[in-house]
Amino acid sequence: MNNLKPSLVQFFTGFSSREVFDTVFELVNPGEKGKDIVMYAKKHTEDEENRVKRSKKLTPANQFLLFLCRVRVGLFEFDLAKRFNVSLGTVSVIIISWANFLYLRLGSMNIWPSREQVDKTMPVTFKEKYPTTRVIIDCTELKTEMSSSLLLKSQIYSNYKSSNTLKGLIGIAPCVVTFVSQLYFGSISDRDILNAMFFLGLNFNNRDIVMANKGSDIQDLLDQKDVNLNTPLFLGLYDQNDRK
């Protein structure tokens, strides 16, 4: 990690500098020598246990770097094994273990900002037209492998994407991510996701606005929080509230 130039740090990790990488690494806090990371072994065999032991030869920071190179750039595991001088099985152990660790660690962090924080970071042009917006929400779908189970296959099939997907809800406010839901089967509707999760249990202020895409039928759900829905046809150009 110390040998990477700043431009390479950004390319391989997505972070703008080594300082940002170090800050995020400190934030997730894997513990001294990575003691809080449970290394995953597919089977409790001697070979798998050796892979777990070899994975710990890399420092936690380099394990994190390896993981980011995989998810950020999409480097093949064989390539990562050569770059980090470890076995292919060790690379697999590190990637799966860090994915599980970050899922639990980041999922437990509260990233929902206050009304004051939203106002402070809101772009000026956005504030002029949509000053009471608290969050912009939209669902995103990730393609996944087809299941051999007919029931599961029907549940993960998305008519919208015409493929097998998992769906999640993302919220931004309006320039930083402030909410990330768990993943649901691709066949679920956006409304059902919103109704099934704790999004509506978050701290809203009266007269806050939730912005969503055209066709979102969720105003009755938002009424529980005294929050209004705004579905502009074209963000920044047209607001349904402008119609007379």
pLDDT of 195 > 80? The answer is: yes
CA dihedral 158, 99, 121, 230 (to 10 degrees): 20
- The closest of 129, 4, 134 to 73, measured between CA atoms, is 4
**Which tokens hold the place of 49?**
């246990």
pLDDT of 235 > 50? The answer is: no
What's the distance, CA 9 to chain centroid? 20
pLDDT tens by residue, 144-191: 989 899 999 999 999 989 999 999 999 999 888 999 998 999 999 988
The HSE-up count of residue 51 (CA atoms within 13 Å, CB side) is: 23
User: What's the rounded Cα separation, in Å, for the pair 203 and 197?
Assistant: 14
Tell me what the mean pLDDT of segment 24-28 comes to. Answer: 95
Q: Could you tell me which residue, 217 or 244, shows the higher pLDDT?
A: 217
Task: Give residue 238's pLDDT band: very low, low, confident or very high (50, 70, 90).
Answer: very low
pLDDT at 240: 43
SS3 for 6? helix
SS3 for 141? strand
Task: Give residue 236's pLDDT band: very low, low, confident or very high (50, 70, 90).
Answer: very low
Tell me what the mean pLDDT of segment 61-86 comes to. Answer: 95
SS3 for 86? coil
pLDDT of 114 > 60? The answer is: yes
Task: Give residue 44's pLDDT band: very low, low, confident or very high (50, 70, 90).
Answer: low
For CA atoms 111, 114, 120, 122, the dihedral sign is: positive
pLDDT of 244 > 80? The answer is: no
The reported pTM is 0.74
Task: Give residue 242's pLDDT band: very low, low, confident or very high (50, 70, 90).
Answer: very low
Task: Give residue 51's pLDDT band: very low, low, confident or very high (50, 70, 90).
Answer: low
User: What's the rounded Cα separation, in Å, for the pair 216 and 191?
Assistant: 8
